């Protein structure tokens, strides 16, 4: 086991704000996960007609005015909602904090695509006369926009930026927040991920052209990781932001602590634009385990990345079997089966959905898994119904993305 760190070097989660297709806060989200409630629906996309997608239904006017919504972006609005909810959940009073010592670090898959597509569509109606191009375009499309909109809304004057990390972004935003706290660059970090992917027809069209866009007569059954009848990705929007603090600060103010972040890692496949690499996934998980000072047998829950693609799911399953096969203790689940692929928000949302397991000792299931693919067998894969287990001390969260970026985060039950 790793040597015990001083409290100033231990980073804990003290607040969670989220917007998911099946819940607007952690309580709603967790309830949906335990009840098997999907958030996938039919959604009309320009040039394509009806597709299947995960759409969030939070109230953007809770923290913004209508003019702010007109000027800003969907990603920014989701990020503001999540950040404000996280601060409220942590029971922090922004007015009493040094806002120059708060950092905002958000993982994204892409940004600017939605705004550019919309503007081109609009000026097409005017024979491409650029005088009809929005003067809000540039601040909408810069890559730091979602995090920047949070700082504008909340008056935060510390560092902010987004991290373009494909579908590993949520984990990586969390990791960046942790690292900035350890470097003493900030005293409070808002870290996580956000996605407005459903606003872009290009993303839907891209997956369709690859033969990887999910379809099903019943929208709620469209996302089917590990099922032999799976046929691709369900594109979704969403966001999840965590309040991160040094344990010393959290204890000083008597904060509720969801968990301690004890392991994390990021690496690259360097093999292909799209197809994942088992060996690099294994390496990434091992690096996180080593950083946490634990072995595979210590992990109680593994939340898989599994997106529902024919090629991707078996690779992750093989990596997990190779690492955890002789230690058949970890229970395994998948959150995308409920909400689809929330891209840059995926890792953060999926971690959040599993954190209540530290309290209720229940593993939420993977739904829509009716016929397990023979290439995807996993010990203790929790299927279609929640499962009570005796011990939940460590949760491991996988998130992998295009261009071969891999990330793993390990959280631990908090103990002083």
Number of residues assigned to the chain: 416
Given the residues 56, 341, 364, 376, the one annotated as active site: 341
* DSSP per-residue codes, 269-307: --S-SSS--HHHHHHHHHHHHHHHT--GGG--EEEE---
Is the residue at 93 inside a domain?
Answer: yes
Is the residue at 16 inside a domain?
Answer: yes
CA distance 149 to 333: 34
| Domain identity same for 152 and 193 | yes
| Domain identity same for 218 and 273 | no
| pLDDT (tens digit per residue) in 224-261 | 999 999 999 999 999 999 999 999 999 999 999 999 99
Is the residue at 7 inside a domain?
Answer: no
pLDDT of 326 over the 90 cut: no
Beta partners for residue 50, in sequence order: 44
| pLDDT (tens digit per residue) in 17-48 | 999 999 999 999 999 999 999 999 999 999 99
* 376 flagged as catalytic: no
| Domain identity same for 60 and 85 | yes
CATH code for the domain of 326: 3.40.47.10
Contact in structure between 364 and 387 (CB atoms under 8 Å) = no
CA 329 centroid distance within chain: 25
What distances in angstroms separate CA 311 from CA 4, 60, 211, 292, one per listed residue? 41, 37, 11, 30
| Domain identity same for 107 and 128 | yes
Residue after which a domain boundary falls, among 226, 252, 278: 252
| Domain identity same for 248 and 266 | no
| Domain identity same for 269 and 333 | yes
* 317 flagged as catalytic: no
What distances in angstroms separate CA 254 from CA 4, 13, 95, 251, one per listed residue? 21, 13, 18, 5
pLDDT of 199 over the 90 cut: yes
Given the residues 305, 317, 331, 376, the one annotated as active site: 305
| Domain identity same for 99 and 189 | yes
Is the residue at 257 inside a domain?
Answer: no
- Note down the domain range covering 285: 262-412
Given this model, what pLDDT does residue 2 score? 57
Is the residue at 407 inside a domain?
Answer: yes
Given the residues 56, 82, 167, 284, the one annotated as active site: 167
Residue after which a domain boundary falls, among 252, 286, 304: 252
Domain count, the chain: 2
Percent of the chain with pLDDT over 90: 98
| pLDDT (tens digit per residue) in 45-68 | 999 999 999 999 999 999 999 999
| Domain identity same for 246 and 269 | no
CA dihedral 195, 201, 202, 203 (to 10 degrees): 40
CA distance 170 to 146: 13
What are the φ and ψ backbone dihedral angles of 325, each rounded to 5 degrees? Answer: -60, -40
Given this model, what pLDDT does residue 358 score? 98
The pLDDT confidence band at residue 3, using thresholds 50, 70 and 90, is low
Contact in structure between 320 and 214 (CB atoms under 8 Å) = no
| Domain identity same for 177 and 232 | yes
pLDDT of 4 over the 90 cut: no
| pLDDT (tens digit per residue) in 336-346 | 999 999 999 99
| Domain identity same for 110 and 23 | yes
As to burial, measured by CB atoms within 10 angstroms (0-12 exposed, 13-18 middle, 19+ buried), residue 202 is middle
Indicate the average pLDDT of the chain: 97
- Cβ-proximal residues to 215 (8 Å cutoff; 6+ apart), any chain: 52, 222, 231, 232
CA distance 259 to 289: 16
Please tell me the pTM assigned to this model: 0.97
Is the residue at 222 inside a domain?
Answer: yes
| pLDDT (tens digit per residue) in 120-176 | 999 999 999 999 999 999 999 999 999 999 999 999 999 999 999 999 999 999 999
Residue after which a domain boundary falls, among 218, 252, 286: 252
CA distance 72 to 137: 9
Q: What is the DSSP letter of 216?
A: -
Is the residue at 1 inside a domain?
Answer: no
| Domain identity same for 248 and 277 | no
* 111 flagged as catalytic: no
| Domain identity same for 310 and 222 | no
CA distance 132 to 118: 12
Is the residue at 400 inside a domain?
Answer: yes
């Amino acid at each position: 086991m790793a040597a015990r760190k001083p409290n100033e070097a231990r980073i804990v989660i003290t607040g969670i704000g989220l917007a998911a297709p099946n819940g607007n806060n952690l309580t709603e989200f967790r309830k949906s996960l335990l009840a098997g409630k999907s958030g996938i629906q039919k959604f009309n996309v320009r040039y394509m007609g009806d597709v299947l997608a995960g759409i969030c239904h939070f109230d953007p006017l809770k923290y913004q005015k209508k003019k702010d919504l007109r000027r800003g972006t969907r990603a920014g609005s989701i990020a503001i909602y999540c950040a404000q909810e996280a601060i409220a959940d942590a029971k922090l009073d922004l007015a009493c904090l040094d806002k120059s010592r708060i950092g905002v670090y958000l993982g994204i898959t892409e940004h600017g695509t939605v705004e550019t597509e919309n503007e081109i569509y609009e000026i097409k109606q005017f024979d491409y006369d650029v005088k009809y191009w929005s003067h809000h375009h540039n601040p909408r499309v810069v890559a730091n926009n979602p995090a920047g909109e949070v700082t504008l809304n909340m008056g935060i004057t510390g560092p902010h930026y987004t991290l373009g990390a494909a579908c590993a972004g949520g984990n990586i935003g969390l990791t960046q927040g942790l690292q900035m706290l350890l470097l003493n660059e900030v005293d409070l970090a808002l870290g996580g991920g956000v996605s407005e992917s459903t606003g872009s027809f290009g993303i839907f069209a891209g997956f369709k052209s690859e033969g990887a866009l999910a379809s099903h007569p019943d929208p709620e059954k469209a996302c089917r990781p590990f099922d032999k009848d799976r046929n691709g990705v369900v594109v979704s929007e969403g966001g999840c932001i965590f309040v991160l603090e040094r344990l010393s600060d959290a204890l000083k103010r008597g904060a509720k602590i969801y968990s301690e972040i004890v392991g994390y890692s990021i690496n690259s496949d360097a093999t292909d634009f799209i197809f994942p690499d088992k060996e690099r996934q294994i390496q990434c998980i091992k690096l996180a385990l080593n950083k946490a000072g634990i072995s595979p047998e210590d992990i109680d829950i593994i939340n898989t990345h599994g997106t529902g693609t024919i090629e991707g799911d078996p690779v992750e399953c093989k990596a997990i079997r190779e690492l955890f096969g002789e230690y058949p203790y970890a229970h395994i689940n998948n959150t995308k089966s409920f909400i689809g692929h929330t891209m840059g928000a995926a890792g953060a949302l999926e971690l959040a959905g599993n954190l209540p397991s530290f309290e209720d000792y229940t593993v939420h299931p993977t739904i829509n898994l009716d016929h397990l693919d023979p290439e995807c067998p996993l010990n203790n894969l929790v299927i279609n119904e929640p499962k009570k287990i005796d011990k939940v001390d460590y949760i491991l969260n996988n998130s992998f993305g295009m261009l071969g970026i891999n990330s793993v985060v390990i959280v631990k039950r908090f103990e002083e």
